[in-house]
């Protein structure tokens, strides 16, 4: 079925009733778009761009010629109004085609803004390496082979990890090891720390100010 196109617009539907009847008497199928919206409140007319007299696209040329003869439009090219063009462009969208054009546009704008916001978030989101290097992480608990090795919250001693430059892993205030190294490989952090419980390949989860690192043997909770 051909889509409808707007051939005439009026602020009020009653201005189009006689014209609609005249076109229909010539066998042209007509539809008054936004008629009921304006009837609810006349002030809605400007918001929706007036009431549109629409015809099937394949009957538009004949309708326009008849409207010219009757003096309702000037002898110039008639272009669909902006809302009419947007309506035609979006009328095929699933779940939206039965929604009014104004609500449809609001939904599309909100979806577009959400997509842009999400894209910008992932574009400017710091990388895992940048996040790790940006903080000194205070260790909370360490589990080794499913056993609690240390609970630092219950201790007067703090234990910090610093993911430094040149892949050095330092422990401020502690002589932990001289050759502690770390690197990112395939999305995982690999730590080499002189054959300590820290050695291993870790899945890393950074959520807000919390850091969880899990390897085959060790789980580190830090903040």
Could you tell me the domains of the chain?
4-91 (3.30.70), 129-222 (2.40.128)
Q: What percent of the chain has pLDDT over 70?
A: 81
Residues sharing a CB contact under 8 Å with residue 204, sequence separation 6 or more, in sequence order: 128, 132, 188, 189, 211, 212, 213
127-164: pLDDT as tens digits: 888 888 888 888 888 888 888 877 666 666 677 788 87
pTM over 0.75: no
Q: Is 111 exposed, middle or buried (0-12, 13-18, 19+ CB in 10 A)?
A: exposed
Q: Contact at 8 Å (CB) between 19 and 53?
A: yes
Report the pLDDT averaged over residues 213-223. Answer: 89
Sign of the torsion angle spanned by Cα atoms 102, 108, 109, 114: positive
Residue 49 phi, psi dihedral angles, 5° rounding? 80, 25
Residue 85 has pLDDT above 90, yes or no: no
The 10s digit of each residue's pLDDT in 165-216 is: 777 776 654 555 555 788 888 888 888 866 677 788 999 998 878 999 899 9
> What is the model's pLDDT at position 27?
93
Q: How far apart are the first and last CA of the chain?
A: 63
All residues at 6 or more sequence positions from 205 whose CB lies less than 8 Å from its CB, including other chains: 211, 212, 213, 214
pLDDT band at 39 (very low <50, low <70, confident <90, very high): confident
3-state secondary structure of 154: helix
């Amino acid at each position: 079925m051909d889509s409808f196109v707007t051939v005439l617009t009026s602020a009020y539907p009653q201005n189009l009733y006689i014209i609609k009847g005249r076109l229909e008497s010539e066998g042209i199928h007509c539809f008054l778009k936004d008629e009921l919206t304006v009837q609810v409140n006349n002030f809605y007319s400007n918001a929706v761009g007036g009431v549109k007299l629409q015809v099937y696209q394949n009957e538009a040329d004949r309708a326009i010629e008849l409207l010219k003869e009757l003096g309702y439009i000037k002898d110039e090219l008639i272009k669909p109004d902006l809302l009419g063009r947007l309506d035609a462009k979006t009328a095929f969208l699933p779940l939206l085609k039965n929604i009014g054009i104004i609500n449809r546009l609001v939904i599309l704008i909100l979806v577009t803004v959400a997509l842009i916001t999400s894209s910008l978030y992932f574009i400017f989101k710091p990388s895992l390496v940048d996040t790790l290097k940006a903080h000194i992480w205070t260790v909370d608990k360490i589990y080794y082979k499913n056993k609690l090795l240390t609970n630092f919250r219950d201790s007067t001693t703090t234990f910090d990890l610093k993911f430094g430059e040149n892949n050095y892993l330092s422990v401020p205030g502690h002589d932990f090891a001289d050759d502690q190294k770390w690197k990112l490989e395939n999305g995982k952090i690999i730590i080499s720390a002189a054959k300590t419980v820290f050695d291993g390949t870790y899945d890393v989860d950074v959520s807000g100010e919390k850091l969880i690192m899990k390897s085959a043997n060790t789980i580190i909770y830090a903040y």
